[in-house]
Structure 1
């Protein structure tokens, strides 16, 4: 084996390791908490190349709103869809779009962009 073959082998092994880590490795995700003001809880998710935080935790039994603050006008992120709630909101109409979340029972509400490429969830505990 010459030097160029060894270099190609090393680069190939590093790429394989990176792909395995990317798809099968444990990745931490940001979790946001709600704030309660005047008997209503709210949480803000910033839309900028994805959702930050991608997970929001709400308290069961307290009326809740999740505010999507738009910083990225990419076509994919222009809508947020809560399939379980029948919600499909256009985020480009205003800087902050509010979605009311039912908190009468514990559960998880998944949401995604209009193209189903970026995902997040709202957890009621």
Structure 2
């Protein structure tokens, strides 16, 4: 009887810890990096590394300077195999090449949200 009771307590404790971790993963406040574009001869470029998410998740671009954002694929997860920027009508398959480039209009200050193909991982491109 004592062994069964102890086993139930261990299973209950493990389940509560697992529920807590799941809640933290989906609802917790996670600090996200913000990246800035670097100047090139023809404009500005920023790189987002795709590896279990987007790093940095937020990119800041300067208004009025032609811009490209490179998505560098390091993860073969099905969810992260596509990047979707709905406002620009972009849905790119990231698995076809190691780096996929998208052009972002910078003629006006604006924010563009992007996500993985399953809308589970998110990022933002800010033009200011």
In structure 2, the partner of 1:36 is 39
Question: Matches of 1:52 and 1:66 in 2, distance apart?
Answer: 12
Q: Secondary structure of the residue that 1:84 maps to in structure 2? A: helix
Which secondary structure state, in structure 1, belongs to the residue aligned with residue 124 of structure 2?
A: strand
1:96 paired with 2:99, answer: yes
Other-structure match for 1:55: 58
| Cα distance, 1:27 vs structure 2 | 3.0
**2:3 — aligned with what?**
none
Q: Gaps (5+ residues) in structure 1?
A: none
**Structure 1 segments (4+ residues) deviating >2 Å:** 10-27
User: How far apart, CA to CA, are the structure 1 residues paired with 2:17 and 2:76?
Assistant: 35
So what's the TM-score if we normalise by structure 1? 0.82
User: What is the CA–CA distance in structure 1 between the aligned matches of 2:26 and 2:69, rounded to whole Å?
Assistant: 29
SS in 1 for 2:84: strand
Deviation by residue 1:33-70 (Cα, 9 ceiling, x = unmatched): 00011131000000001000000000000000000000
TM-score scaled by structure 2?
0.80
How large is the Cα RMSD of the aligned pairs?
2.3
* Cα distance between partner residues in 2 of 1:25 and 1:78: 25
